[in-house]
């Protein structure tokens, strides 16, 4: 009997582990053949022989090995701030798109399509681009170029999705609103979103200027108005959970292997567990850890 074969696309050297650690554990436990491919995995060359991302590559290798993943590769496109000086602020990274990224979108799509033919996965996992980081948006857009028969599942980008209403606002932006998500008080969306920008560790770390927070609130307001439009994309949600302390320990070890990033993302284990638990509560599950995925329905 042939193994299930899955391709996970990661914008950066941490995103799949941050967002899909439980899925990786469960699929590996079932004997799946998994490849993780990172799109934006290097910085600019400053001096010959000097790799600014060598440490991050080592962290990624360690994190994936903790979860039992040994098949991984990098496409070696530069992260946004290194490939284009336009991306000098967080608000530009998450809200704008430079014209030169049209070239990168086409080139990335070409390489992933070639990998799809070579690796022949049953399913491709890719980000919804919640949080709207440009590198996540470019990775998300790959789905449009793949053969129509491709089985595509989108994952929720963590910790961006911990920001209240960020999922709904992103689904509205890509015309993929799901009726089941219309469960909150509409008048509180922007207030909750603004409070989340001040409370969540990630946004406290990177969104420090009032002007940039204001731009993000304007984006939220625009997309909030789109939420009642008829969706063009149909997505089916899938929730996976665990109550295993061993699973949670593996997940935490993998995530905290990214030592260069963890201070920006969570600071410490206690904050990670608190923010994860708060999101679990929003998913209406009592499990100690949960992840939600969205299958594209053709």
**pLDDT score of 46:** 67
Q: Where are the alpha helices (DSSP H) in the chain?
A: 15-29, 54-66, 80-83, 90-95, 101-119, 134-140, 166-173, 189-199, 201-206, 210-224, 245-255, 259-265, 269-282
Instruction: Read off the pLDDT of residues 20-44 as tens digits, 9 standing for 90 and up.
Output: 999 999 999 999 999 999 999 998 7
> Which of 30, 21, 10, 6 has the alpha carbon at shortest distance from 254?
21
Asked if residues 197 and 161 have their Cβ atoms less than 8 Å apart, the reply is no
Task: Give the residue-averaged pLDDT of 7-11.
Answer: 98
β-strand partners of 33:
5
Coil, strand or helix at 43: coil
Q: What is the mean pLDDT of the chain?
A: 92
Asked if residues 39 and 72 have their Cβ atoms less than 8 Å apart, the reply is no
Q: Count CB neighbours of 291 within 10 A.
A: 25
Asked if residues 42 and 78 have their Cβ atoms less than 8 Å apart, the reply is yes
- Domains delineated in the chain: 5-297 (3.40.50.10320)
Instruction: Read off the pLDDT of residues 192-211 as tens digits, 9 standing for 90 and up.
Output: 999 999 999 999 999 988 99
């Amino acid at each position: 009997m042939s193994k299930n074969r899955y391709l996970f696309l990661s914008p950066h050297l941490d995103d799949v582990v941050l967002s899909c650690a439980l899925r990786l554990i469960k699929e590996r436990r079932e004997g799946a053949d998994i490849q993780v491919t990172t799109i934006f995995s290097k910085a600019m060359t400053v001096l010959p022989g000097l790799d600014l991302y060598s440490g991050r590559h080592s962290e990624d290798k360690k994190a994936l090995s903790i979860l039992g993943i040994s098949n991984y590769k990098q496409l070696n496109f530069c992260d946004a701030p290194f490939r284009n000086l336009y991306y000098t602020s967080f608000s530009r990274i998450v809200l704008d798109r430079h014209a030169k990224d049209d070239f990168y979108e086409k080139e990335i799509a070409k390489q992933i399509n070639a990998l799809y033919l070579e690796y022949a996965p049953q399913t491709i996992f890719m980000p919804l681009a919640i949080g709207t980081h440009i590198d996540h948006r470019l990775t998300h857009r790959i789905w449009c170029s793949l053969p129509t028969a491709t089985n595509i599942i989108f994952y929720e980008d963590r910790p961006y999705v911990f920001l209240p209403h960020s999922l709904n606002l992103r689904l509205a932006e890509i015309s993929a609103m799901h009726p089941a998500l219309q469960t909150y008080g509409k008048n509180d969306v922007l207030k909750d979103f603004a409070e989340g920008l001040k409370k969540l560790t990630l946004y406290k770390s990177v969104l420090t200027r009032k002007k940039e927070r204001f731009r993000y609130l304007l984006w939220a307001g625009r997309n909030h108005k789109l939420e009642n439009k008829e969706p063009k994309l149909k997505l089916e949600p899938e929730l996976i959970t665990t109550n295993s302390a061993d699973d949670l320990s593996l997940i935490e070890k993998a995530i905290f292997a990214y030592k260069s990033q963890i201070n920006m993302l969570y600071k410490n284990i206690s904050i990670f567990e608190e923010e994860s638990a708060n999101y679990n509560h929003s998913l209406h599950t009592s499990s100690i850890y949960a992840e939600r995925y969205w299958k594209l329905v053709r």
